[in-house]
Chain A
Amino acid sequence: QKEVEQDPGPLSVPEGAIVSLNCTYSNSAFQYFMWYRQYSRKGPELLMYTYSSGNKEDGRFTAQVDKSSKYISLFIRDSQPSDSATYLCAMIGSNYQLIWGAGTKLIIKP
């Protein structure tokens, strides 16, 4: 079993919809959680960074962490075609190494 599980998709939604992307993890020691966005043929770029449980909002993006369920989510409001990308979750494990989900491919249809 992988330490971080993420549905690879693709997830296809119409423009303007609310998108929910999720990851589950098995190691209760994880404290730092990240969402990276990766456009096709580009490197990942940090989108959201949260510590411990709770919500963090940045514009149309909200990151949510539920440590009791070992579950993290990224919500995108008013989704745009420019949001079409692969979204990777990551968590900091031992020796400060990042443990990655496989990524979810998101397609926003105009």
Chain B
Amino acid sequence: NAGVTQTPKFQVLKTGQSMTLQCAQDMNHNSMYWYRQDPGMGLRLIYYSASEGTTDKGEVPNGYNVSRLNKREFSLRLESAAPSQTSVYFCASSQGGTDTQYFGPGTRLTVL
């Protein structure tokens, strides 16, 4: 069991470039989440998918889009990257509701 995997691990972008962060889970979980983590800010929810076929905005959705490709995969897209999007991005999954969330190893993104 790999749990939650994320690609890439590191990425450097120039302002205005686009990219997609990939996330996959092999735990047959219903719900998946994208967070960003910045120093002193804790984890902030960007988007989540409560179940396959649904997506909802979290606390900080501006500048991002998501796709729940199937039950296993949930991608995060930055259409036009900005320096304010420099952060560490974590994907997580759970069965939903009050169930534990399991996290991937993160993607470190720098936007110049």
Please tell me which stretch of A12-20, A43-51, A57-65, A71-79 contacts chain B, meaning at least 4 of its Cβ atoms lie within 8 angstroms of it. Answer: A43-51
**A103 surroundings in chain B (CB, below 8 A):** 42
CB distance from B58 to the nearest CB of A (A): 7
With known contacts A41-B106, A42-B105, A45-B103, A96–B96 Cβ distance under 8 A: yes
Q: Which residue of chain B lies nearest to A42 when distances are taken between CB atoms in the complex?
A: B105
CB distance from A77 to the nearest CB of B (A): 23
Our count of residue pairs bridging A and B at CB distance below 8 angstroms stands at: 46
**B48 surroundings in chain A (CB, below 8 A):** 97
- The listed residue (A43, A49, A96, A101) touching B97 by CB distance below 8 A is A96
Q: Are the CB atoms of B43 and A43 closer together than 8 Å?
A: no
In this complex, how many residues of chain A approach chain B with their Cβ under 8 Å: the count is 23
Contacts of B66-104 to chain A: CB distance below 8 A: 90, 92, 96-98, 100-104
Interface residues on B, range: 20 to 34
Q: Are the CB atoms of B45 and A92 closer together than 8 Å?
A: no
CB distance from A33 to the nearest CB of B (A): 11
> Is B41 interfacial (CB 8 A cutoff)?
yes
> Is A107 interfacial (CB 8 A cutoff)?
no
15 new A-B contacts, CB < 8 A, other than A4-B42, A34-B100, A46-B102, are A6-B42, A41-B106, A43-B90, A43-B104, A43-B106, A44-B43, A88-B43, A90-B43, A92-B98, A96-B98, A97-B45, A100-B43, A100-B44, A101-B42, A102-B41
